[in-house]
Chains A and B, each alone.
Chain A
Amino acid sequence: MMQGMTRPGPWTALETGPDAAATASAQPADFAALLRRNGLYPGFPAHSAHPAGAAGAGGIPETQATTILAFKFAGGVLMAGDRRATAGHTVVFDRADKVIEIDRHSLMAIAGVPATAWEMARVLEHSFQFYRRTQLQEMSLDGKVRALSKLLRDNLSFVMQGVGVVVPLFATHDTVAGTPRLYFYDAMGAQFEAADYAVSGSGSPAVRSILYYANTWGGRPLRELDRRDALVIALRALDTAAETDTATGGVDRRGSVYPVVKIVNGEGISTLPDEELAEIFRTEVR
């Protein structure tokens, strides 16, 4: 090979020779496989098995993030999360963004370890784009839902060692059927489709009860609520979670730090502006 040394970077698709060609075409649309082939797949070095708890492997306090909720309403799916990240009893960060845009019609909310969760979100975002660019078509909805499941499953060995547990929610718009779809997962990667609402994180028991109550006896089911009423319930639920759960952040009105709330529907994703959240907090929550 005359010019072999001048070829930099991960370059599997252009390597000549039958072996390289076989590797490159084995999983042509799988971005995670591409990362793995190049030794770039995210993971954490685990030195010793360690029981799950406030401290992760090696006794390093693990940063965690906490209450997220999502439910279907008249205008699509609303997804919201508080802003606090904690490690043991310490508040690490009060501006964490736990509701993440994955593509034009997909949202992921994260509870658990942000280091793993944000990396999962990045892999997921790139996977969908990589699929679209290489295969010249969008990945199907089922394919997207399954992709997150697979990432969680890949992370299982770390979870068993007490690091990097993530329990996400996934909301998307079914562009074929024209309906909103909502999924929740467990840490092993099982996926469940939610009929009306889904919650996750340490503050979620309270939120789950509130959403159950509102959906059943609240006068109107969540599905029929307009944007403002949906927002009021979401913010009240997060406020309730913050009241009892130390790992869930409330509203810092002095610093103007409000929960992150996003809506996904047929038109795409919209992020609710702080002014709107501030107004509802002032009039409806406190």
Chain B
Amino acid sequence: MTEEPYRWVEAISNRREYIQNQLAGGSPIVALRYRDGLLFLTLSRERQKLFEIYDRIAMGAIGHPGDIERLRMAAIEVASTEGFTRSAQDVSLRRLAAFSLSPALKAAFEQLYGPPYLARMLFAELGRESDGDLFVRIDFDGSLHASGGPHMRSFEAYGVLAGTAAQTQAMERQLASGSHAAADLKDALQTALDVWTIGFLTREEGEPPGPEARAAARAEQLREAVIEAVVLERGAPQAAAYRVLRPEELAGIA
């Protein structure tokens, strides 16, 4: 059946629709630059969704836990092998995303007799200087959205990940409208949580929800879920910049 070109395109399109439906319910993930580095935030109920990949690279993902695990493991293997055989400075998110993850995801997605990856990932890399920060979103079909255009030079100081395109756009609009690069951790957390709520409340294109609706939705969600937040710290004493925020650092954020 898939020998015929049209059938193949139709099958791919069905597969895309199926995966998009599966991913639509995922809790959004917000990553942004703040004064001391990069912050990742999401609300989670049962599973961990933010992970350390290498010294200066972190990942957040939505999708099937089994697929996220395999992709996470693969990313760590590639980064660790490169870091060991060459050096930690040679590990780069640009290369990891474009040369390793993207082709593998595309291949799995388009091989109709094999299972595709049911996952969407957001990576962030802490640059040596702040203009070297990079946010990259990688979709289940291997398509990349980098925050900085064709050469992956980061022009935007944020990255988001959500179940639907409408949610993604609403969150990106909100982040683009304000400046948070100089915010301290507390302000950055509050901004990120607010953007998360906008993503969570957006179901289709339209006006973004007002502040009251956002506060009410957030309060309701925080009763059942917890804030999961990690940072890549620019001034970290050791090479590994990744750190999970302690409960006391999240106190008062609502």
Contact = CB atoms under 8 A, between A and B. Distances in A.
Interface string B113-148: 010000000000000000000000000000000000
A278 interface: no
B94 to A, nearest CB: 14
Contacts of B51: 133, 136
B99 A8 contact: yes
Contact of B106 (A3, A10, A12, A130): A3
Interface residues of A, number: 32
A10 B83 CA distance: 13
A3 B142 CA distance: 12
A113 to B, nearest CB: 20
Nearest to B100: A9
29 contacts: A7-B104, A8-B99, A8-B103, A9-B78, A9-B82, A9-B99, A9-B100, A10-B77, A10-B81, A11-B77, A11-B100, A13-B74, A14-B70, A14-B71, A14-B74, A16-B108, A16-B111, A31-B84, A34-B80, A35-B81, A122-B84, A123-B84, A126-B80, A130-B76, A133-B51, A133-B54, A134-B72, A134-B73, A134-B76
Contacts, number: 82
A176 interface: no
Given A11-B74, A129-B240, A3 B107 contact: yes
B74 A7 contact: no
A8 B100 contact: yes
A8 B82 CA distance: 12
Contact of A136 (B48, B78, B83, B85): B48
Interface string A1-42: 111101111111110100000001000100100110010100
B77 A13 contact: yes
Interface of A: 1-4, 6-14, 16, 24, 28, 31, 34-35, 38, 40, 104, 122-123, 126, 129-130, 132-134, 136, 268
B73 A6 contact: no
Contacts of B74: 11, 13-14
B238 A1 contact: no
A121 to B, nearest CB: 12
A132 B48 CA distance: 14
B107 A10 contact: no
A126 B83 CA distance: 9
A6 B78 contact: no
Most buried by B among A8, A123, A132: A8
Nearest to A25: B73
